[in-house]
């Protein structure tokens, strides 16, 4: 996908409107693990620095940077939330340190280079929303030895055991008014975003994407990765669970793994029929992720895998 296409799609009004409401920002700020991890990282790296906050929302990360002693902060957001950010900055007495810019980051010109880019751009399953491309374009602001927070982001896959509740709920839905089997299929191909208990994880974990924020390219978000996971108990596998983590130069670590509640939860990819597995079985597969061609903020994901000489292929859409 060309940069042009991405920038055009970034123009979409519905996207900016979704961030204009205070509730969505409230939910993010109240995500304690997320907000505290960024705070910790910002406190480690922003003292005396010139910082750009890509997608500042309410300006919370800019406030953290200013409080930590940043020399100057540029807080950029295209959504109307930027008006609140300006007000919040003033209210907190940081008008002279933080400049709020209501604009698409792709179109912003800064009169000076910055030491630090900070951005909370991650969507469900890491790449949903496609904001990563905007952060990559913001690297043009960086001084030669500048840093990006977070600097590394990884996506993981693991297998999960049968969720009776999910299957029963779907069954009752399908059976109330006769056979609504198409809905059954739709439920399966749409990944489910939910927090699961770590006790449902029944395999080893495998990294399927590992992005270096300083060097990755826009097109790296379209990828195919091989994975191998090993089953750790006799069980019935009902699907795969993906989650991500973000590293801040070893000083802070944000994770969305099962057992760590965050607003991103985990992404579950259910199988059409559960798979009987034994301790020590291997599942080898390929995970393919592509930005959707019509709306690059959505993801088309294909999981192909083999288990004891049987091959499976399922296509999912995250929208």
Just list the catalytic residues: 120, 129
Q: Which of 6, 63, 66, 131 binds ligand SAH (CB under 6 A)?
A: 131
Pick between residue 118 and residue 202 the one whose CB is nearest to ligand SAH: 118
Q: How far is the CB of 140 from ligand SAH (least distance, A)?
A: 13
Find the residue with minimal CB distance to ligand SAH.
55
Q: Does 296 bind ligand SAH (CB under 6 A)?
A: no
61 binds ligand SAH (CB under 6 A): yes
49 binds ligand SAH (CB under 6 A): no
Give the nearest distance from C-beta 38 to ligand SAH in angstroms. 6
Tokens of 258: 């099962």
Query: What is the length of the chain?
Result: 319
Residue 130 interacting with ligand SAH (CB under 6 A): no
- How many Å apart are CA 15 and CA 24, to the nearest integer? 12
For residue 248, the minimal CB distance to ligand SAH (Å) is: 14
Query: Which span sits near ligand SAH by CB under 6 A: 75-83, 203-211, 245-253, 285-293?
Result: 75-83
Going by their DSSP bridges, the two strands 235-247 and 310-318 should be labelled as unpaired
- Binding to ligand SAH (CB under 6 A) within 6-45 occurs at 10, 16, 19, 25, 28-29
| Smallest distance from ligand SAH to CB 82, Å | 8
x/- contact string, 78-107, with ligand SAH (CB under 6 A)? Answer: xx-x----------------------xxx-
Residue among 19 and 166 whose Cβ is closer to ligand SAH: 19
Instruction: Round to whole Å and give the CA distance between 301 and 318.
Output: 8
**Of the candidates 120, 163, 245, 281, which one interacts with ligand SAH according to CB under 6 A?**
120
- Residue ranges in contact with ligand SAH by CB under 6 A: 10, 16, 19, 25, 28-29, 55-58, 60-61, 76-79, 81, 104-106, 120, 131, 134
């Amino acid at each position: 996908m060309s940069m042009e296409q991405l920038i055009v799609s970034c123009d979409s009004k519905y996207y900016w409107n979704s961030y204009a409401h205070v509730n969505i920002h409230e939910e993010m700020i109240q995500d304690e693990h997320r907000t505290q991890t960024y705070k910790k990282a910002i406190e480690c790296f922003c003292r005396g620095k010139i910082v750009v906050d890509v997608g500042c929302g309410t300006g919370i990360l800019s406030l953290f940077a200013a409080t930590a002693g940043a020399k100057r902060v540029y807080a950029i957001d295209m959504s109307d939330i930027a008006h609140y950010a300006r007000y919040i900055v003033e209210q907190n007495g940081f008008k002279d340190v933080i400049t709020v810019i209501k604009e698409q980051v792709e179109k912003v010109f800064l009169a000076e280079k910055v030491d630090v880019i900070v951005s909370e751009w991650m969507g469900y399953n890491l790449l949903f929303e496609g904001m990563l491309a905007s952060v990559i374009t913001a690297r043009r602001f960086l001084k030669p030895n500048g840093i990006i927070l977070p600097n590394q982001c990884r996506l993981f896959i693991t297998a999960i055991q049968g969720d009776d509740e999910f299957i029963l709920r779907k069954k009752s839905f399908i059976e109330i008014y006769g056979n609504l089997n198409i809905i059954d299929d739709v439920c399966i191909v749409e990944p489910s975003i939910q927090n699961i208990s770590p006790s449902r994880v029944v395999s080893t974990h495998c990294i399927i994407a590992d992005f270096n924020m300083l060097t990755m390219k826009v097109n790296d978000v379209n990828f195919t990765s091989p994975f191998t996971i090993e089953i750790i108990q006799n069980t019935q596998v009902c699907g795969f669970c993906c989650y991500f983590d973000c590293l801040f130069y070893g000083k802070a670590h944000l994770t969305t793994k099962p057992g760590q509640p965050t607003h991103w939860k985990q992404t579950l990819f259910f199988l059409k029929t559960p798979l009987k597995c034994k301790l020590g079985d291997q599942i080898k597969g390929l995970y393919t992720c592509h930005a959707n061609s019509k709306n690059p903020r959505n993801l088309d994901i294909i999981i192909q895998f083999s288990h004891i000489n049987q091959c499976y292929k399922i296509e999912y859409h995250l929208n």
